[in-house]
Structure 1
């Protein structure tokens, strides 16, 4: 991979239900993300952190917590990711909570539309993130980004990418899902999302699941990966506020990343919900860096 990588920090937890994801970008830097990617021969430019409003820590209003602040952060993310793509660099968004994916994927979708390219989004997560203000149990917007991207959400977020919906549901593949609210489940089925939950991974194995999730890609496809660290089993990745038992193991996660790397099509990446307040000696950040290395082509097997 010869393209330059642009690291973009988004240190906020305004969309989350717990404090601490705002420290995620720095934890990834402390874990040596830039140096690890440079060791693979990649050009890496760390743009530092975006600025945005502080977390007011208020209760929900009309079904949403901190909507103005989430919108402000997503606008900043949208512009930063758009600028990175326009500069022919590969943006890596260092979150921050997962509500920021509305801005990052919105920018990627707009970029693809402008250039007539196809888009495939791999959503690696324990949660479907398809809540709306009508069904959310908390009002936390980090549980709503997929719904927003698919056209279900507040107008201020829906309009970010210039087109509503920002993406068509058929562009999306969700992998590792194991926590979905009842109302969410009905919406996910209603829009026809392709979901490879943990039972599917248990039954078919990660290799077949990834073969299915990556099917149909070609050189005209932009591949975006939105990696929520709670995708991983909490036994190996405790540093998130929204752990759900029974996630992918280390080797399953490695295989997932290696098979994405094998496509040669990765065009943008989110790394979300890393929360050092719940971590142990930064081990989750170090694991995330390890997996990101594999995503960018580091081989863990003795293959020619």
Structure 2
């Protein structure tokens, strides 16, 4: 496997004297010590796409902030977890970094790990999808039809902007749609938590043209959650493989202030977690990532703590 620098300095914290009281920092190991399959955390230190999208830079520090927030959380896993280091975007070399991220994720998938990529801007999504596509293409001889990949994006934005002008954190799912068309693969995309105020009519039309499952932020209430969960379950039923991507700006600014574009409304963590659980427990989730943590604008580490909790929830059953 291609080596990236693995900095374990973030994995520190308290140690309790009671037995069976381990925390993440006591249990996670660098990937080069992997002797079995497990969760593999891979950072994507990039905000080149955010800058191109005229957002607030600072997301390049996101992966380490998530690790620091995850380190003291209680360990409830049976299977191991590994730190696979960071893929670093140098300057504006976004496309090269995305390709390298895809290669690393494909290697992790080929080795039988469950990768969770830590961003970084939402440009991470095109690299993540490339990794899953590369992995499934390598298994192509086992199938007589294209892989049925479902993308679930928890996000205030479609990120379906026209990529012909420039690739950015606002274009990854349009890039994926184009890549699926070139491969003659179906494009199955669900975008949950969309803000109508933050997406133009053109983007809503593009989502409609592409057959995207859309649920707006204002649709999420305790009363409507069961209906939304049923819609997501129907979406999952038509997929063989799932890729979950969580843009932290789907949350209200009070819960996630440290993002490129804080949400005026958003969808609360209490309503997000049930969605994550049914995706996690579907048996189809192959890859996940968390995007847009910007520590430079975080308040009391709130957003990093939310991101860490999401990683904890995603990996709880291992």
TM range (shorter): 0.7 to 0.9
Cα gap change, 1:168 to 1:220, in 2 (>3 Å): closer
- Contact persistence 2:48–2:89 (CA under 8 A): no
- Contact persistence 2:76–2:316 (CA under 8 A): no
Q: Cα deviations across residues 209-235 of structure 1 (Å, max 9, x unaligned)?
A: 122113254698222101111111111
1:295 deviates by 2.4
Matched, 1:29 2:67: yes
Q: Cα deviations across residues 124-155 of structure 1 (Å, max 9, x unaligned)?
A: 11100000157x8xx5610000111001xxxx
Structure 1 residues 1-304: aligned runs within 5 Å: 3-16=37-50, 17-32=55-70, 36=73, 38-55=75-92, 69-115=93-139, 116=143, 117-133=147-163, 141-151=168-178, 158=179, 164=182, 168-169=186-187, 171-178=188-195, 179-202=198-221, 205-215=224-234, 217=236, 221-297=240-316
Cα gap change, 1:84 to 1:230, in 2 (>3 Å): same
Cα gap change, 1:202 to 1:176, in 2 (>3 Å): same
Which segments of 5 or more consecutive residues in structure 2 lack a partner in the other structure?
1-35
Which segments of 5 or more consecutive residues in structure 1 lack a partner in the other structure?
56-68, 152-157, 299-304
- TM-score, scaled relative to structure 1: 0.80
**Bigger CA radius of gyration:** 2
Cα gap change, 1:38 to 1:82, in 2 (>3 Å): farther
- Contact persistence 1:28–1:289 (CA under 8 A): yes
1:3 deviates by 4.9
- TM-score, scaled relative to structure 2: 0.77
Alignment coverage as a number of residue pairs: 270
Cα gap change, 1:167 to 1:278, in 2 (>3 Å): farther
1:167 deviates by 5.5
Cα gap change, 1:108 to 1:143, in 2 (>3 Å): same
1:36 deviates by 4.2
Q: Give, in whole Å, the separation in 2 of the partners of 1:199 and 1:277.
A: 28
State the SS of the aligned residue for 1:50.
strand
Q: Give, in whole Å, the separation in 2 of the partners of 1:297 and 1:266.
A: 13
Q: Give, in whole Å, the separation in 2 of the partners of 1:205 and 1:219.
A: 22
Cα gap change, 1:297 to 1:208, in 2 (>3 Å): farther
Measured on the aligned residues, the alpha-carbon RMSD in Å equals 2.6
Q: Cα deviations across residues 87-117 of structure 1 (Å, max 9, x unaligned)?
A: 1111111111111211111221332344345
- Contact persistence 1:130–1:144 (CA under 8 A): yes
- Contact persistence 1:228–1:272 (CA under 8 A): yes
Cα gap change, 1:118 to 1:239, in 2 (>3 Å): same
State the SS of the aligned residue for 2:220.
helix
State the SS of the aligned residue for 2:118.
strand
- Contact persistence 1:73–1:100 (CA under 8 A): no
Cα gap change, 1:140 to 1:78, in 2 (>3 Å): closer
- Contact persistence 1:173–1:194 (CA under 8 A): yes
- Contact persistence 1:149–1:165 (CA under 8 A): no
1:83 deviates by 0.6
